[in-house]
Structure formats: structure tokens, C-alpha cells
Amino acid sequence: MLSVKEAECVGFDSKWRVKKIAATSSSQTDEILKQNSETNTSEKKSIETQTDAPRINYDVKYDVNKLGNFLKRIYPKLAAELDDDSSSSIFKNYCPFDEPIFSKAKIVQTVNVNLEVKDNVASRVNSLSWNSTGNTIAVSSDYPHQNWCHHFGFVSLYTFDRYEMFPEIPSRKVKTGACVRAVAFHPKLPYILSAGTHTGDIYLWNIQHDENEMLVDKIVGHDDSITGMQWIVRNDKNDDMVLATSSTDGFINMWKFSSKAHQLILKRKYKMKPPILQKQPEMTLETDLCKSIGPGILGFHFSYFTPEKFVVAAEGGIVVQCSTLGAQTIIGTTGDTVPILNPCVLFCEPHNDQITTIKFSPNHKEQFLTNSVDGEIRIYLLEQDTPVRVICLKKPLSVVNWVPYHDKVITGCGRFGLEVFNVITSEKYDDVCENEVDELTHMEINSKRPTVVVSGTYDGKMNLWSIPWASFSNSTN
Ligand SMILES: [Zn+2]
């Protein structure tokens, strides 16, 4: 059962050392070659060159007909683009300023502007103007006048401190020979201030100068009381501007202001002459008398958008749309030293009583408003003689203002203090003030910061307001 199997042995040689075969070799990088060579920057030479003096060829010949056709072709497109641009509503309701957190108008400071009381009557604040930086306010005041003014007048200047509050006493005070009726700061030079008095004088001050050297020009501007004053901003880089002044003498005078010489030079005068065939305003007996010499001007305003257009409020409730373009010299006035022109374009439906405010909108170029003692605020459009909106008041307001950046609201002040209206609904906002407010004579919105507003009172006080326009503008009233 058991068997033996034999097998042959197999094996392999073991090796304990393997001899490595190695060959010695060498490597060598190429030798670096160095070479010295000289370099030098290029030589420069200064050479003077002289351009030829520009030669302007004044004798350019052109084809008038072709130019006319070209202008006729491009004008409608250009005009449409410009109109689109100016009436663009892309920034509508956009306000770049911080609105106050409270929802009502609030008086934050009251300053006694004029401590002088004459014949037991305090002077009332009648004109206010912010300078171009929005940090200084000029305040003027007057006494009620029946006849010629025999008072001295003052303009007080208040500059904000770092907390945007006014000092208790004015930073500057300038004196005039009669009560001041209107003040206006230059719209570009924050230190140039003008004022017009009840006796027709125009004063020009540089408020940077020392007290005794502030007056830079004084002229007899009109034969009667000055009623309005506006610096006209032209869209050029030249600082030489025009100051327009109006008076009950029936003229609007245009003064060229030279920023170098700081002088006013009379350039032309405008007088309201109704055209024979146009709609005549219903004249009262008083204005009939004025017809031969022209009605006194109670106010005027030049457009912010098209500086050649302006609107005028004349005695007897007359509202006129005017233009400096195409104004004709009035017959019989050619002997005068400056041209006397008739700028009237359209007589609008007149008010039933004297007009106290006439102002173009800063928001829409075609709108302007009037405010009258007859208790009506009216909104007119250019080229239309009837108002598009009438707001009837319980008591007439002293002054009415548009609100920059808020085209839905207008504001005014008077016997009931401050009032705010919705232009769309013609309704008054209720309960707009946090404080008890005195009767107000005048108000002015700071165009740099529209929520900052000043107003004046019948007893010579100035109020500083903070007014959240957006809370009115956005309300559903
Ligand atoms: Zn006076």
C-alpha cells in the first residue's frame, strides 16, 4: 500500500555579491563668456519751435441758402432733443438730501433780527436771500409806508456755525439810506450782495471786505420804490451777469455786472405795453390812470431753464408773459440813453387784486405761479393765458414758494403761519407744524438744502425751520 517515490534534486547557485559595473564620465557646462561694452544714453538737444499765429479768415464765403436749408433740417431734431433733455423726469422725486426724521415742519431757532422799534412799530422782515453756498442769509426789514420813506435801513447777515445754527447777533450788518425792500445774493459769487430800497436806490456790497469798505457800488436805480431783484444766471462760463430790478415806476431795468470792476451798468429797460389787438386785462380806475404811463411793476421772475423768458406782475392784478428775444423799442423813447423795450408776449387772465408773488417753477420749465391779495394761488403754463390750477385760500398768503425737487407740493406763509398745499389735488395739508407759529411775512427755501428754510415775522424776528418735504410729497393727502 505504501510506496516510495524518489525524485531528483534540483537547485540554483546563490550569489551574495553582485559586482556593479560603473563608468566614470564627466560633464561640463559651457564656459560663460563675459564681455565689457560701453553704453551711453542718447544725447538731447533743446530746440525752440514757434507755432504760427492763428489766422482767422473772416472772409469765409458760404452759401446762405444751403446754410438755411441745413439749419431748417437739423433744428426740429435738435429742439426735440433739448426739450426732451430739459423736461426729462429721470430725477423725478429724487432728493439727494437727508430728510429729517420727524414728519412735521419744525422751528429749530428764532433770532431777533431788528431790535429797533420806531413810533411803537417794529420793522417787519420783508426779504430774505441765501448766498450761493447756502451758509449765509441776508435779511432786510422795513416799516409800513404810506408815503415817502424817511428811515434808515439795514441788511443783516447771519452765517451758520458748525451745528447749522445762526449766531444771536448778525455776523455783518450794512446800513442804507432808506428802508430796504429787496435783497439778493449773487448766484455764483457768495460774497456779492445787492439790495434795493423804497427810494429806488440800488446798493452793491462785497461782504468779504472790512466794515467800512463793503459798499462797492451805489446807484439811483429807479424813480420809485424797488419791488423786485433777481440775478440772471446765463449758461456760460463768464461771471459777468445781469441784475434785473423792478419798480413801481413801471420799469424793469437790466444792469450788467462786471465781476472784475464790481460795477453795475444800465443796459436796457423794459416797460409793459399791451398790444392793441391782444386780450386786454380788465383795468380798474386806478390802472386806467396808469395806462398812459404804464402800470407799476410789483414783481417779476426769469425762468431757470430759458433765461430769455420772464413773467411780470403789474399793478391791478396784471400777469404778463414776456421775452427778451424780439422785444421792440417803444415808439417815442428812442431819445433815451438806453433802449426802452416792450417785452410783452402774452397777457394772462388777471387777478382781481394786487399780486404778491410771481415765480417760475424750479422743477418744470413751463410752469409759473402767482399769489394775490384776492386769495388765489394760480398755476399758469407758458403760452397759455388761463391758469391750469387755482387754489382758493381762506386768508391770502404773503408769499408762496415752489419746493425744489418736490413738484407735488407748494408752500406759503401768512397770517396762519406756514401752509403746505398739494398741487395735484389743490388741497391744503392739515396740521403741518409742530410749533405754534406767529404771523409770517416772508419765507425762503435754501436751494442747496431745501429742508432748511427761513421765515420772517411782522415784529422783526427770523425763524429757522427744518421741513421734511418728502413726508408731505409722499403722503396720500
Ligand atoms: Zn422806511
Considering the entire predicted model, what is its pTM?
0.75
pLDDT of residue 279 exceeding 60? no
| pLDDT digit string, tens, across residues 390-401 | 999 989 999 999
Question: Are the CB atoms for 369 and 402 separated by under 8 Å?
Answer: yes
- Residue 197 Cα, ligand 1 centroid: separation in angstroms? 9
Neighbours of ion ligand 1 (CB under 5 A): 143, 149, 151, 179
**How far away, in angstroms, is 243 Cα from ligand 1 center?**
23
Ligand 1 centroid – CA 200 distance (Å)? 12
Those residues with Cβ within 8 angstroms of residue 241's Cβ, 6 or more apart along the chain or in another chain: 186, 187, 188, 231, 232, 233, 234, 256, 257, 259
Q: How far is the CA of 220 from the centre of ligand 1 (A)?
A: 17
- Confidence at 42, pLDDT banded by 50, 70, 90: low
At residue 89, does pLDDT exceed 60? no
Residues in CB range of 184: below 8 A, 6 or more apart: 129, 193, 194, 195, 229, 230, 231, 243
**Spacing, Cα 256 to ligand 1 middle (Å):** 28
Full strand arrangement of the beta sheet holding 367-372: 355-360, 367-372, 376-381, 389-392
Q: Which of 119-123, 132-136, 306-310, 438-442 has the lowest mean pLDDT?
A: 119-123
Rounded CA separation 453/396 (Å) = 21
Say how many Å lie between the CA of residue 177 and the centre of ligand 1: 9
For residue 288, the model assigns a pLDDT of 43
Query: What's the gap in Å between 117 CA and the centre of ligand 1?
Result: 12
Report the separation in Å between the CA atom of 357 and the middle of ligand 1, taken as the mean of its atom positions. Answer: 21
- Report how far residue 262's alpha carbon sits from residue 360's, in angstroms, rounded to the nearest whole number: 28
Question: How many residues appear in the chain?
Answer: 477
How many angstroms does the Cα of residue 269 sit away from the middle of ligand 1? 26
Over residues 175-188, the mean pLDDT reads: 93
Question: What is the CA(147)–ligand 1 centre distance, in A?
Answer: 9
List the domain boundaries for the chain.
97-116+407-477, 124-229+261-271
Calculate how far, in angstroms, residue 301's C-alpha sits from the geometric centre of ligand 1: 25
Report whether pLDDT(254) > 60.
yes
Nearest to 215 by CA among 263, 180, 253: 263
Distance 181 CA to ligand 1 centre (A): 9
Give the model's pLDDT for residue 411.
95
Mean pLDDT over residues 81-100, rounded? 61
* Reported confidence tier of residue 61, pLDDT bands at 50, 70, 90: confident
Q: Is pLDDT at 180 greater than 50 in this prediction?
A: yes
pLDDT of residue 347: 93
For 124-229+261-271, CATH number out of 1.20.210.10, 3.30.2320.50, 2.130.10.10, 1.10.3720.10 equals 2.130.10.10
Spacing, Cα 260 to ligand 1 middle (Å)? 33
Instruction: Dump pLDDT digits (tens) for 153-175.
Output: 889 999 999 999 999 999 999 99
Identify the band that residue 436 occupies on the pLDDT scale cut at 50, 70 and 90.
Answer: confident
pLDDT in tens, 97-118: 555 555 889 999 999 987 565 6
The pLDDT of 441-452, averaged and rounded, is 93
Query: Do 470 and 95 contact (CB within 8 A), yes or no?
Result: yes
The proportion of the chain whose per-residue pLDDT surpasses 90, expressed as a percent, equals 50
Q: Average pLDDT in the 331-353 region? A: 86
Confidence class for position 287, pLDDT limits 50, 70, 90: very low
Give the residue-averaged pLDDT of 274-299.
Answer: 57
User: Rounded to 5 degrees, what are φ and ψ at 317?
Assistant: 75, 15
Do strands 263-271 and 297-302 pair parallel, antiparallel, or not at all (unpaired)?
unpaired
Greater confidence, 61 or 412? Answer: 412
CA dihedral 128, 134, 136, 141 (to 10 degrees): 0
- 3-state DSSP call for residue 385? coil
240 vs 195: which has the higher pLDDT: 195
Q: For residue range 298-336, what is the model confidence (pLDDT) as tens digits?
A: 999 999 999 899 999 999 999 999 999 988 888 777 667
What's the chain's average pLDDT? 83
Three cell numbers at 358?
A: 410771481
230 CA to centre of ligand 1 in angstroms: 22
Distance 214 CA to ligand 1 centre (A): 22
* C-alpha 149 to ligand 1 mean position (Å): 4
